[in-house]
Chains A and B, each alone.
Chain A
Amino acid sequence: MSAPTLPRVTRLAMFLRLLAVQGSWNYETMLGNGIAFALEPALRRLPGGASGDAYRAAMAREARYFNSHPYTAALAVGALARLELDGEPADRIERFRSALCGPLGSVGDQLVWAGWLPFCAMLALFAFGLGASPMLAAGLFVAVYNVGHVWLCAWGLGAGFSGGLRVAAALGSPAFRQAPQRIGAFGLVVGGAAIPLAAKRLATTVFCPNVWWAVAFAAGAAGLAIALVRARGRVQGWHVALGLLVLVTAVGAW
């Protein structure tokens, strides 16, 4: 039997649906319904089409509990499409789905949320700190971030479909294992330059009556940063910020 293929239009439909994979995200089935939603164009190619029993059974199966990072879910969608079209037994598909959840979630969180997103945010803040216009700073973030976003989803869909049951090998490649570390390192270095420049541009929107105040605030920021690192997430910085800003504003208004 020859390997199944997916027409370009079907792949495009799956890709667009993947952008809404978390549309009905919930604590019961998590991404489950979104996975069935993204897979649907491929499942129409099952014997009997969209009114066949194979289609109905596959849709019901794929809408069950599934959890992963929304971008690396593309790998799962590609691989599951291949398995369904290959006519793999239902219990094998279900075991495969369960096995994918952990690795896809952890790789995606490390690569995107802890790596790519902070790196792109720091790049935009660096541009802001150097005096970039609103269009440039915001546009730079959206453009650079989405190069990674679109690439990861498109690659995942293709690699998942061609890998099928062997999709785990794609996640185990050295490039995937090293990328989060490298992007995180770049993010820290860019952030090292971006944060002082961005803070300075913000502060210079007002006139400072004495330069020593600026030095005191910079020292205070460094002290608070060290305290937050040592707190290891027990104290949230944005809670501290909200509390202090409200307090000082209230005193200033009074």
Chain B
Amino acid sequence: MSATLLPIAALGGLVGMDVVSFPQAMWSRPIVAATLAGALSGDARAGLLAGAALEMLAMETLPVGASRYPEWGSASVVGGAVAAGFPPMSAGDLVLGAIAALGTAWLGGWSMYALRRMNGAWSLRARARLEGGHTRLVDALQLRGLSADFLRGAVLTAGVLAIARPVVPALAERIAASNWLLVFLLAALGAAVAASALWRLAPAVARVRWYAAIACAAAIAVAVSR
């Protein structure tokens, strides 16, 4: 990996925080976070490719309230860094980056749940003192929650990348013969997940669905002709 682990871990912490805590500007979305990680690792294009695949896969799990969902921010940093980290980028790196990111998203979801439980315990402990007039506890709880979230994302990113660093080059070499098959599978899975998620999210209006079908047919025609 061309970049050192520290800046990538810091990026993982920052985008991990953006998912929920601050500022929710959605630079934690895969298409942004993976591209940033790719750029930091020396190949923004590889990061973007990983980010686009992950963005399609992330479309069905949106960060809705109290539900437990995968954490795509730090996961996308892992995906982008793995895809871009062993230049020149091979298709194997791209797929292994996507696998590493999906695993990290799952782990990240659990780590967010644990953080929320911890925030809850801190909040309950502070309750009586807050009601008694210790108003500075409000700022302290916010600061503690934000710091813990940053650390969560940074440690998760660094941990997964530390494991991936020795494994990915060797594995990428072993799967080189089936690279095209894996990339096709990744693209097809991304397209299927994104299409089904959009269909469920959009209003069930026949006219709109017809417009979407026409747009899809036109895009397929453009894709085939290019």
Contacts and interface: CB of A to CB of B under 8 A. Distances in A.
15 contacts: A23-B149, A33-B123, A34-B142, A117-B29, A118-B198, A125-B55, A149-B25, A192-B219, A193-B216, A205-B91, A214-B184, A244-B185, A245-B185, A245-B186, A249-B95
A30 B24 contact: no
Contacts of A241: 57, 102, 186, 189-190, 193
Given A114-B201, A125-B56, A197-B222, A24 B144 contact: yes
A222 interface: yes
B138 A36 contact: yes
A252 B178 contact: yes
B218 A23 contact: no
A118 B209 contact: no
A1 interface: no
Interface in B108-137: 116-120, 122-124, 130-131, 133, 135
Give the size range of B's interface with the partner: 35 or more
Contacts of B213: 192
Interface stretch (B5-13, B38-46, B158-166): B38-46
B48 A199 contact: no
Contacts of A125: 31, 52, 55-56, 194
A253 B61 CA distance: 30
B36 interface: yes
Contacts of B70: 238
Given A125-B55, A134-B38, A238-B105, A114 B62 contact: yes
B211 A60 contact: no
B26 A141 contact: yes
B130 A202 contact: no
A14 B39 CA distance: 34
A12 interface: no
A195 B23 CA distance: 28
Nearest to B47: A134
A25 interface: yes
B2 interface: no
Most chain B beta-carbon contacts within 10 A, residue among A181, A192, A213, A224: A192
Q: Majority SS of interface residues in chain A?
A: helix
A209 interface: yes
Interface in B83-99: 91, 94-96, 98-99
A157 interface: no
A238 B193 contact: yes
Contacts of A236: 60-61
Given A206-B183, A238-B61, A195 B56 contact: yes
Nearest to B33: A138
A105 interface: yes
Contacts of B119: 24-26
Contact of B21 (A22, A206, A223): A22
Contact of B64 (A29, A56, A113): A113
Given A60-B130, A63-B130, A202 B190 contact: yes
Interface stretch (A2-10, A158-166, A183-191): A183-191
B57 to A, nearest CB: 5
B142 A193 contact: no
Given A28-B124, A138-B51, A185-B205, A237 B193 contact: yes
B123 A237 contact: no
Contact of B191 (A59, A185, A221, A229): A221
Given A138-B35, A217-B185, A229-B200, A188 B208 contact: yes
Nearest to A223: B192
